[in-house]
Amino acid sequence: MARAPAMSDSPAIEFVRVQYRTSGNRVLLSDFNLAVRQGEVLMLLGPSGSGKTTSLKLINRLLIPSDGRISVDGRSLEEWDVIQLRRHIGYAIQEGGLFPHYTVQQNVALVPQLEKWPAEKIRGRVREVLTMVGLAPEEFSGRYPHQLSGGQRQRVGLARALAADPPILLMDEPFGALDPITRSELQKEFHELQQRLSKTVVFVTHDVSEALLLGTRIALMDAGSLRGVYAPREFLATNDPAARPYVDAFRAMQQVFQS
């Protein structure tokens, strides 16, 4: 948990007074200000409907803010070519979002292919990232997503997000649909992987122990606004009422384990 990521002064991702309204004029995110540091794992924690996924999708322009400014690597998103921006950012979601008509190999190789890497390099990279996420390439390369377990699909999803070695990773409840044992296994492995890779990660979760385990910092969200950003230790000590249920749940769980 305690880790000193390679941080530089300029934030990797920055939200300045961002607002997002739906076409039906519902405000899903208001006056959102957040700076994600290089190499940190920022956990977006909050109940459903609090705006976590919305803020994540604003980063890779799956959604366009109604107001305010977002920048990635110091450049405002309007200045980025949207395709380049997205290839600069890995994206992993629940259930993996894998292409059902592609094998594991083809799923993972897609972005490097679009980036016109030489075939030899792509093959090597696919083997490398599959190994990284704990899948034996010989065994899994040729399989289709429907021939994998939920946990394996999730690993492939992560491998695909890492394939072109993007500096930034966005993860939307990537372990949410897994059974508890597989989930904690994957959390642990992801944590170890991140120690080596030091990506800038924005990670959406509603699971407080996941947030405390994986996060460099925790951004607590509620009803479309940011309540505060805390280091895990600070989070447990805060008296923000919105944090209360999470802290209580965590304490209760700790007590169960201690007794």
Partner 1 sequence: MLRLIFDFRNEFIVKHKSEVLTLVAEHLWLVGVSMALAIAIGVPLGIFLTRRPAWKGLVLGTNSLVQTIPALALFGLLLPLPWLGARADRLAIFALTLYALLPIIQNTYVGIIEVDPPVREAATAMGLTRRQLLWKVELPLASNVILAGIRVATVATVGLATIAAAIGAGGLGEFIFRGLAMVDNHVILAGAIPAAVMALSAYGLLSLLQRVVSPARR
Binding site for partner 1 (CB under 8 A): 60, 62, 83-87, 89, 91, 93-101, 110-111, 114, 144, 146-147, 160, 170
CB-nearer residue toward partner 1: 99 or 136: 99
CB-nearer residue toward partner 1: 1 or 114: 114
SS3 70: strand
Beta bridge partners of 15: 34, 70
CB-nearer residue toward partner 1: 21 or 143: 143
Cβ of residue 218: shortest distance to partner 1, in angstroms?
24
Cβ of residue 67: shortest distance to partner 1, in angstroms?
23
Q: What are the contacts of 27-33 at 24+ separation with CB within 8 A?
A: 27/224, 28/54, 28/224, 29/54, 29/55, 29/58, 29/224, 29/225, 30/224, 30/225, 31/225, 32/68, 32/225, 32/226, 33/226
Cβ of residue 143: shortest distance to partner 1, in angstroms?
9
Cβ of residue 168: shortest distance to partner 1, in angstroms?
12
CB-nearer residue toward partner 1: 99 or 121: 99
Q: What is the distance between the alpha carbons of residues 200 and 5, in angstroms, rounded to a whole number?
A: 9
Q: What is the distance between the alpha carbons of residues 183 and 248, in angstroms, rounded to a whole number?
A: 22
CB-nearer residue toward partner 1: 87 or 127: 87
Distance of CA 198 to the CA centre of its chain: 13
| H or E stretch covering 126 | helix 119-132
Q: What is the distance between the alpha carbons of residues 61 and 88, in angstroms, rounded to a whole number?
A: 12
CB-nearer residue toward partner 1: 167 or 228: 167
Residue 73 region by backbone torsions, left for phi larger than 0, else alpha for psi between -120 and 50, else beta:
left
Are 106 and 99 within 8 A, CB to CB? Answer: yes
Cβ of residue 240: shortest distance to partner 1, in angstroms?
31
Cβ of residue 176: shortest distance to partner 1, in angstroms?
12
Q: What is the distance between the alpha carbons of residues 141 and 107, in angstroms, rounded to a whole number?
A: 9
